[in-house]
Amino acid sequence: MNALIIVDVQYDFMPGGALAVAEGDKVADVILKIRDRFDHVVFTQDWHPADHCSFRQNGGIWPPHCIQNSDGASIDRKIFRDGDTYIRKGIHQDVDSYSGFWDNERKHKTGLDDHLKTSDVDTIYICGLATDYCVKFTALDGIDAGYRVFLIKDACRGVDVHEGDSSKAVDDMINKGVIVISSESIQ
């Protein structure tokens, strides 16, 4: 079985949001075209307590974003349907979680790996936001967890805090064994 993993397509990562990603609103149309081609679809959702350690006022590097139950934390309503599976991450105050599988210190597993294994998934296709953070670490951890991992590049956008971060992230994924494809090849 395969699964499409839609990473953090949430309003705070779109233009006008608290941690806007350039063209973050553009991935939804691509995702809508391809999502019905997969055996399973799973969303990840960045879901932080209001005093999360990744926020600047607590010594982190990000503006406050994706605060639990805020509108900015909602998954794009164009692509999220009632009954869809979602896995929340970054829920512990003291540790961030870029990957959809594990927090950054590998202290807590999210439910993603168990959900995929229970569903007999061995191949995952990753898309969403942001290429250089949560998409990248989800893809790398996917390889570590034993999945065949594809990156649907045109269905991703990056933060690019430093110029070139996203293309470097794609290189890192390729070097780890991730296969980069375009949505055109799945439609």
Residues near ligand VGL, by CB under 6 A:
8, 46, 62, 129-130, 133-134
Q: Which does 55 bind (CB under 5 to 8 A by kind): Zn ion, ligand VGL, none?
A: none
Q: Which does 130 bind (CB under 5 to 8 A by kind): ligand VGL, Zn ion, none?
A: ligand VGL
What string of DSSP letters covers the chain? -EEEEEE--BGGGSTTSTT--TTGGGHHHHHHHHGGGSSEEEEEEE-B-TT-TTBGGGT-SB-S-SBTTSGGGSB-TTT--TT-EEEEES-STT----SSSB-TTS-SB-SHHHHHHHTT--EEEEEEE-IIIIIHHHHHHHHHTT-EEEEEEEEEE---SSTTHHHHHHHHHHHHTPEEE-GGGT-
Least separation in angstroms between CB 48 and Zn ion: 6
134 binds, among Zn ion, ligand VGL, none (CB under 5 to 8 A by kind): ligand VGL
- Smallest gap from Cβ 160 to Zn ion, in A, equals 16
Smallest distance, ligand VGL to C-beta of residue 46, A: 5
Instruction: Provide the binding-site residues for Zn ion, judged by CB under 5 A.
Output: 46, 90
Q: Which residues are catalytic?
A: 8, 89, 134
